[in-house]
Amino acid sequence: MNFFKKELGYCPICEKETTFTSLHSWLRDHYICGFCASIPRERGLMNVINNVYPNWRNLKIHESSPGNRGTSTKLSQECPQYIASQYDPGIEFGEIHPENKYRSEDLENQTFENESFDLVITQDVFEHIFDAEKAFREIYRTLKLGGAHIFTTPLVNKNIATQERARRESDGSIVHFYPPEYHGNPVSSNGSLVTWHWGFDIIERLNSISEGSGQIVNSQNPIYGIEGEYLEVIIQKK
């Protein structure tokens, strides 16, 4: 088999010496751990969580829209106070899905009480939120003092100003400013509409909410198989 890239390293998710391989030049989604099948953005996120909150197993964690591998699996298996939620309008918000056991939540209008969590985790969610500032404020509201929202979202615009691609009007209709773009959705085959192309100026929005505590972490680390584009991990502390 002809690999685009194949390297020995250590995975911060399964915590094993492993071989990272990719058949594709787009490493962000294709540079796989040989044991847990995690990808670089997941390993980058987990590495930051390990470094900033090494006691995460003892914390109360909410993850919105988790995946079925990588950081999501590790947190769900090793953190007893982990709560997963999905945006599922087919279930009353605040209720638990009877089979899949996630809690139905709208990040823009959460049912959680104030200061419920030590950590809130989102992975590639905020490029799909309509009212991103409202969601950031809601997450900040649910954080305990000293807690943090730690998340990934592709900063595709980098030094260019953030671009709003679609907006939801008060009547529920959607206005598109650019041709619609969709990404995969773990609970819907229709995919998720991309509403934002974020730039590094995302930090200005976070700082306006969290009193200047937002930061962008460059998570690149070849030893941990954290290589590719758009691997920044963003932290909003309370």
Residue 228 near residue 26, CB atoms below 8 Å: yes
Topology of the domain comprising 39-237 = Rossmann fold (3.40.50)
Residue 105 near residue 85, CB atoms below 8 Å: yes
Residue 149 has pLDDT above 60, yes or no: yes
Give residue-wise pLDDT tens across range 102-127: 999 999 999 999 999 999 999 999 99
What is the reported pTM?
Answer: 0.94
State how far the Cα of 83 lies from the Cα of 64, in Å rounded to an integer.
9
State how far the Cα of 210 lies from the Cα of 138, in Å rounded to an integer.
12
Q: Is 190 helix (H, G, I), strand (E, B) or coil?
A: strand
Element (H, E) at 104: strand 103-104
Residue 187 has pLDDT above 60, yes or no: no
Q: Where does residue 230 rank: exposed (0-12), middle (13-18), buried (19+ CB within 10 A)?
A: middle
Q: Is 194 helix (H, G, I), strand (E, B) or coil?
A: coil
230 phi-psi bin (left φ>0, alpha ψ -120 to 50, beta other): left
State how far the Cα of 168 lies from the Cα of 82, in Å rounded to an integer.
31
Alpha-carbon Rg for the chain, nearest whole angstrom, is 18
Give residue-wise pLDDT tens across range 192-225: 899 999 999 999 999 998 887 899 999 999 999 9
**Res. 189 pLDDT band, cuts 50 70 90:** low
Query: Where do we find the tokens 């003092």?
Result: 145
State how far the Cα of 98 lies from the Cα of 154, in Å rounded to an integer.
32
Beta strands 16-22 and 5-11, pairing class: antiparallel
Beta strands 82-86 and 103-104, pairing class: parallel
Among 83-87, 90-94, 133-137, 187-191, the minimum mean pLDDT is found in 187-191
